[in-house]
A and B are shown apart, each in its own frame.
Chain A
Amino acid sequence: MVYLGSLFVLFLNAFWTTDPFTSLVVREFTLDNFVDLITTEVYRAVTFRTVGMAALVTATCFVFAYPIAFYMAKVASPRIRGILAVAVLMPLWASYLIKAYAWRLILSDNGVLDWALAPFGLTGPGFGEVAVWLTFTYLWLPFMILPIYAGLERIPASLLEASADLGGRGWMTFRRVILPMSIPAVVAGSIFTFSLTLGDYIVPGLLSTTQFIGNVIVINVAQNLPFAAAFSLVPLAIILVYLFFARRLGAFESF
């Protein structure tokens, strides 16, 4: 059993770590791809755009997720809490493509949003970077809600009572006790929202004509596999750095 288990882990390990260099078509060591990556203006722009989008999506998810997570964990009755937990969890598993497609429906010309905004003389943003941002936020929101909810739920009521006894008003207690204590959970959630945005190429393809890291990788898989592999190390490296900081902030204990 031990043997099988560790063998399996080894197997998994091997998969994640060995890929880019074994995939070189010409099996010759070269740094040309990385030089290309760093010196070409377009790739830098794509990288910054993708990281910016990931950060923006993460921030938006946080803003949307915190109130509902807080309501679930600290205000709602146990029955409501159970219902809400299921209500948040279910769409997480509904087809990813269909969720992106739903936003295509909403944002298309004469779609739902145009119709809803028509009385105000406005039209929706249409397809583009705003559409990508909305769709990513929509897709990854449950990944942010659930860890924050779990993190808030673990804060013992006695701590909040202690804060109140010491004269901390509601807002004060929130700012000085609850918010700092929920940081690891927020970071845990942000790992998902950030890294999922970083590598996705389907959503930008469906809802815009803008290129993100994922799109560039996919285009290059057929034409220039070594370059695609080299470029895929960029999100990988960013995610590893992110995970490193997340670990220091205690996010791993909140899984």
Chain B
Amino acid sequence: MLTGRVGRIALRVATGLVLAFIYVPLSLVIIYAFNESGTSAWPPSGFTLRWVGEALGNSGLQQAFLTSIVIALGATVVAMTLGALASLAVGRYSFFGRESISFVIILAIALPGVVTGMALSTTFASLGLPLGFFAIIVAHATFCIVLVYNNAIARLRRVSRSYEEASADLGADSFQTFRHVTFPTLRSALIAGGLLAFALSFDEVIVTIFMAGGVKTLPIWIFQSFRLANQVPLVNVAGLAAILLSVIPVYLATRLSGGVIGSRG
């Protein structure tokens, strides 16, 4: 076998340590959400649901939470529509500029949020479009498209075109082929991409700050609350909500696509 006994044990220990490194900080936020003292001193002084209650009753937090959900849904719908179209165009037809797409997509992920945010907000400003709600949706959609596109194109590459050709041979017009053959094969990949897009949009903060123009999403609320001492205990609870609302869609997406989804790309 490739690795000896010692090597295997060493690898196992390293894996355990890395997993601990990944999960300890996240679990701390969850523990602090129920910490009686409401400060960052460790160990926690006792268990309380007080902060959860206060968070539920905080109208600013409620508003930010709802805004984030609506924006994430909007961005997801736009991203799913355009991402599906783009993946079909690239996966099933050839046209000028097709090869450069993978480069553009990697660039879209690798480009710093500051640059993207500044580019989008100045573009909006020079076109005379207002910042705010719809600006955030458009901005989120531009990078959420990448997720949907990547999931869909991976699926299209796996599924042979001969099914579509068979459908055409059997007399189906192109719309019927799309409805009965292409779309069903794409469906779960699109939903998985959409769930990831939702999770990404729900969490995004840098580009959102540039596009917000006064609108508060959940991450912006959290970001501003870092500076307000009396809201810090609520940040823990908001963090718990944010973790759940991004992790659950991703878990579902993983189940749907039947395996590991690549990194954000």
Kindly specify which of A10-18, A37-45, A125-133 makes contact with the partner chain: A10-18
A89 & B250 in contact (Cβ 8 Å cutoff): yes
Determine whether B161 belongs to the interface, using a CB cutoff of 8 Å to chain A.
Answer: no
B118 & A232 in contact (Cβ 8 Å cutoff): yes
Contacts of B23 in A (CB 8 A): 87, 91
A111 & B114 in contact (Cβ 8 Å cutoff): no
Kindly specify which of B10-18, B47-55, B129-137, B163-171 makes contact with the partner chain: B10-18
Determine whether A35 belongs to the interface, using a CB cutoff of 8 Å to chain B.
Answer: no
Determine whether B32 belongs to the interface, using a CB cutoff of 8 Å to chain A.
Answer: yes
B263 & A201 in contact (Cβ 8 Å cutoff): no
A64 to B14, CA, bound (A): 8
Determine whether B74 belongs to the interface, using a CB cutoff of 8 Å to chain A.
Answer: no
A86 & B263 in contact (Cβ 8 Å cutoff): no
Contacts of A104 in B (CB 8 A): 40, 226
Question: Which residue of the partner chain, among A64, A72, A170, A214, contacts B2 with CB atoms under 8 Å?
Answer: A170
Determine whether A120 belongs to the interface, using a CB cutoff of 8 Å to chain B.
Answer: no
Q: How far is the CB of A236 from chain B (nearest CB, A)?
A: 6
A239 to B113, CA, bound (A): 13
Q: Mark A145-172, 1 if CB is under 8 A from B, else 0.
A: 1110110000000001000100000100
- Count how many chain A residues have C-beta atoms less than 8 Å from C-beta atoms of the other chain: 91
| CB within 8 Å: A-B pair count | 271
Q: How far is the CB of B100 from chain A (nearest CB, A)?
A: 8
Interface residues on B, range: 35 or more
Q: How far is the CB of B7 from chain A (nearest CB, A)?
A: 7
Kindly specify which of B59-67, B90-98, B185-193 makes contact with the partner chain: B90-98
Question: Which residue of the partner chain, among B19, B21, B93, contacts A2 with CB atoms under 8 Å?
Answer: B93
Q: Given known contacts A19-B118, A75-B11, A90-B247, is B26 in contact with A198 (CB within 8 Å)?
A: no
Question: Which residue of the partner chain, among B18, B85, B106, contacts A68 with CB atoms under 8 Å?
Answer: B18
Question: Which residue of the partner chain, among A19, A201, A243, contacts B119 with CB atoms under 8 Å?
Answer: A19
| Contacts beyond the supplied A13-B104, A19-B122, A195-B110: 17 A-B pairs with Cβ under 8 Å | A5-B85, A19-B123, A67-B18, A75-B2, A96-B205, A97-B219, A98-B242, A99-B25, A112-B42, A115-B43, A138-B21, A146-B262, A150-B260, A199-B113, A217-B114, A236-B112, A236-B115
Could you list 10 examples of A-B contacts with CB < 8 Å? A1-B88, A2-B89, A12-B108, A86-B260, A93-B196, A93-B199, A104-B40, A105-B25, A112-B42, A138-B25
Interface residues of B (CB under 8 A from A): 2-4, 7-8, 10-12, 14-15, 18-19, 21-23, 25-26, 28-29, 32, 40-43, 82, 85-86, 88-90, 93, 95-97, 100-104, 106-115, 118-120, 122-123, 126, 142, 145, 196, 199-200, 203-206, 210, 219, 222-223, 226, 235, 239, 242-243, 246-247, 249-251, 254, 259-265
